[in-house]
Structure 1
């Protein structure tokens, strides 16, 4: 049963990621060539960011870790990752669109959240 639940979760995650790729591609007006070079970097960024967020979540759920860790350190790691990848993205899509990526990413998350809330309220 756990394997089935994980498979369902992985499928849902993959579906959302595919929608996100399409959304980012459209809103940043990525050419096929740019997309081919951008998304491997995005995947690295996403993996690194998930790792930081997971560590932050684990810290929040462990009482002794909560006393020994500083939330601001996790926030700083997230900002540092964004700065690092903004410069990497800029090499592929230029500075303006590299900065815009983070706004587009947040818009997608907001849209997804609204959609989930809408489904809940039906």
Structure 2
């Protein structure tokens, strides 16, 4: 039964909830990861504050810093100097290093809450969730609906 709930939620989520898109996606992700990891109530109470803090930090890095860098590159690719290109490469490397550091910190914190196997399952579940979300987005785009 559980295996049918998440795909159903993904299919109806985009247009049926009154929350913002980000809130809807986050709620679906919480449900998806909780089911996949089979978190106990005690594990979930400790896991989600740690994971949400990590998610907030990495989202900021990915969707603000790296997005701005990508936008500058895209908008100015023809006129970028070597000096500015070098600066942008340094900013990208710094952001990627911070993302890596945050993941290392997350793993360290999670080892005190859940088993190493569940941490690996988390990584797989995160990728599966992204894939399902992307497939849903492609399907809606193909059908001409606004995602």
Q: Which runs of 4+ in 1 moved over 3 A?
A: 63-67
**What is the rounded CA distance, in whole Å, between the counterparts of 1:66 and 1:43 in structure 2?**
33
Give a deviation string over 1:1-48, Cα, whole Å, max 9, x none. Answer: xxxxxxxxx611111111100000000110111111111111100111
Q: Does 1:11 align with 2:20?
A: yes
- TM normalised by structure 1 equals 0.82
Counterpart for residue 60 of structure 1: 70
CA RMSD, Structure 1 to Structure 2 (Å):
2.2
Matches within 5 A, 1:1-122: 11-53=20-62, 54-62=64-72, 66-70=85-89, 71-122=92-143
Q: Which has the higher helix share?
A: 1
| Offset, 1:82 | 1.1
Higher RCO (CA 8 Å, separation ≥ 6 residues): 2
SS of 1:101's equivalent in the other structure is helix
- Structure 1: 5+ residue stretches without partners: 1-9
Instruction: Provide the secondary structure at the position in 2 that maps to 1:92.
Output: coil
**TM-score normalised over the length of structure 2:** 0.70
Closer/same/farther in 2, CA of residues 88 and 97 from structure 1, 3 Å limit: same
Is this contact kept in 2: 1:60–1:66, CA < 8 A? Answer: no
Q: Which runs of no fewer than 5 residues in structure 2 stay unpaired?
A: 1-18, 74-79
